[in-house]
Structures are given as C-alpha cells and as structure tokens.
Amino acid sequence: MVYKKADDLSNLTVRQLRARRRRLVKGLPDFEAVLRGSLVDQGRRCGKAGCRCARGELHGPYLYLAVGRGPAVSRLVYVPSSLEERVRSRVELTAAAEKALEEISAVNLELLRRRELG
C-alpha cells in the first residue's frame, strides 16, 4: 500500500506535489487536541464477594482509551461518559492527522528524490 502511494506520487509534477502538501497541512487539526489511542469497551469485576460479576456477569461495559504501542505496553484509561464525545472526536482527529503526516512525509521524500525539497 505504501509502495503504491509512492508510485502515485512519482507521476505528479513538483507543482502538484507542493499543492498536495499544502492541502494536507491545511487539513491538520489543532495540535493541542491531539489524543492518541484507541477506544475499547470493557466489562469489569468489582471484587465484592457474591456479586453477579463474580459469576461472569460483568459490570459495564465501560469505555476506556487504550494507549501505548503494542499490546504488551498498552494500558487503559477510563473515559467518563461526560467526556466520551470529546475523546472520540479527538482520537479520530489524531488518527487522521497521523495519516496526513505520513503523506506529507511521503511528498517530501519524493521532492527530496528530485532535489526539489523546499
């Protein structure tokens, strides 16, 4: 997929590459909103003896933000329902921004190959 994208870029003129880069930069969000992670719903055990959760009927599900890279280092941060909408939109914006940064970098790499980086 990445290779295909690079092939597409090689067909563009320097002017087109710069226009694409400008467009990508314009679409970047306010960086103060950046929030990286992925949202997961998870049930919980409360630990009280005799509670239904001890028999497998978990409480929740509750919303968590899974942060960190890879399952080994990921941890869960509870997302209160009052913040769910805000967290959701920020996580989506951040994922889109990271994709845009990759594309901007690919454009700059192509410009570098042509000695047109500027």
For binding to Zn ion (CB under 5 A), which residues are involved? 46, 51, 53
CB of 57 to Zn ion, least distance (A): 8
Please name the helix (run of DSSP H) or strand (run of DSSP E) that holds residue 13, with its range, or none. Answer: none
Of 47 and 71, the one with the shorter C-beta distance to Zn ion is 47
Min dist CB 51 to Zn ion, Å, is 3
Please, which residue, 76 or 93, has the CB nearer to Zn ion?
A: 76
Q: Which is nearer to Zn ion, 51 or 112 (CB)?
A: 51
* Nearer to Zn ion among residue 15 and residue 48 (C-beta): 48
DSSP string, 37-97: -EEEEEEE----TT-GGGGT--EEEEEEEEESSHHHH-EEEE--GGGHHHHHHHHHHHHHH
CB of 62 to Zn ion, least distance (A): 13
Q: What angle do CA 42, 65, 78 make, to 5 degrees?
A: 70
Q: If we measure between CA atoms, which residue out of 89, 46, 41, 101 comes closest to residue 66?
A: 41
**Closest distance of CB 42 from Zn ion, Å:** 14
